[in-house]
Amino acid sequence: MTFPWREAPEAEFAVIGHPVNHTKSPRMHSAAYYALGLPYRYVAIDVPVGEVDVALEHLRSVGYRGVNVTVPHKEDALAWSVDVEPLAARVRAANTIRLADRACINTDAPGFLDTLEGFDLGPKRALLLGAGGSARALAVALSGTGYELTLYNRTFDKAIQLAKELDLSEESVLRSADPQGASLILNTTSASLNGAQLPILWERAEPGALAYDLMYAKEPTPFLACASEHGLQTMDGLKMLVAQGARSFEWWLGTAAPREAMLEAIR
């Protein structure tokens, strides 16, 4: 169930987006409150483009404590905040807001790194597919941990622009999606949303590489299906959703999030 922001029900936490009807966040956070016996409510609230400021002010005035922010509002949420964590400023996106003091953080980037723990991927080289907001966040996260990056995007100029912002050389931007040498092939595009295939040169992929799609669906996405056919390890975006949500929960409430219960609730 989704509420227009003017009709936001009594609750403490919410996710805002547009559209926001497919979000799993309310189920995931509600499961966390239930597991820990916390009396909080978490709802999905639709905020049209251009109304993020007024919607956040409204939610604050009716007693909401915290808000997660999803597509396409992460930059507007950052702009509304007065206390901005350096990482959120660097990736130019806030996905977690504390309303009382207008503070924000980005939990997508560290949440993503959490999900790589336990994988022995070998050389730290990643091919990043896409050049949108998530690509920027994950590129910052990966280069911060010593990864060498190559970028590929359908619109070449956007990849060039992203490389400039990240201080990467122009040579790191590829004309074709060539995964040779990469231990991590990371799909941050929304191609899988429409069932579209990306033109990846799968036959050049390293045998032990991990193909990671930020998207998740009941069935493997076209990207992950192709990667499996080529014998690669695969991971979808569900664990990242839990990791970023758990980090938001912990920042708001100062207590460890029940990650297993959160994952179970949305699997």
Please give the residue ranges that form the binding site for ligand NDP (CB under 6 A).
Answer: 71, 108, 130-135, 153-155, 158, 188-191, 193-194, 196, 198, 214-215, 237, 240-241, 244
Q: Give the active site residue among 74, 158, 164, 239.
A: 74
Q: Is 130 within 8 Å of 188 (Cβ atoms)? A: yes
In whole angstroms, what is the distance from residue 143 CA to residue 145 CA?
5
Closest residue to ligand NDP, judged by C-beta, is 132
Nearer to ligand NDP, 135 or 257 (CB): 135
Nearer to ligand NDP, 54 or 196 (CB): 196
Nearer to ligand NDP, 198 or 263 (CB): 198
Strand 233-235 and strand 184-187: the pairing is: unpaired
Whose CA is closest to 97, among 109, 86, 110, 107?
107
164 in catalytic set: no
CB of 145 to ligand NDP, least distance (A): 18
Which stretch of DSSP H or E encloses residue 96?
Answer: strand 96-98
Q: Is 258 within 8 Å of 36 (Cβ atoms)? A: yes
CB of 253 to ligand NDP, least distance (A): 20
Nearer to ligand NDP, 76 or 108 (CB): 108
CA 91 → CA 4, 27, 115, 199, distances in Å?
A: 28, 27, 19, 27
Q: Is 106 within 8 Å of 137 (Cβ atoms)? A: yes
CB of 51 to ligand NDP, least distance (A): 19
CB of 190 to ligand NDP, least distance (A): 4
Which residues are catalytically annotated? 74
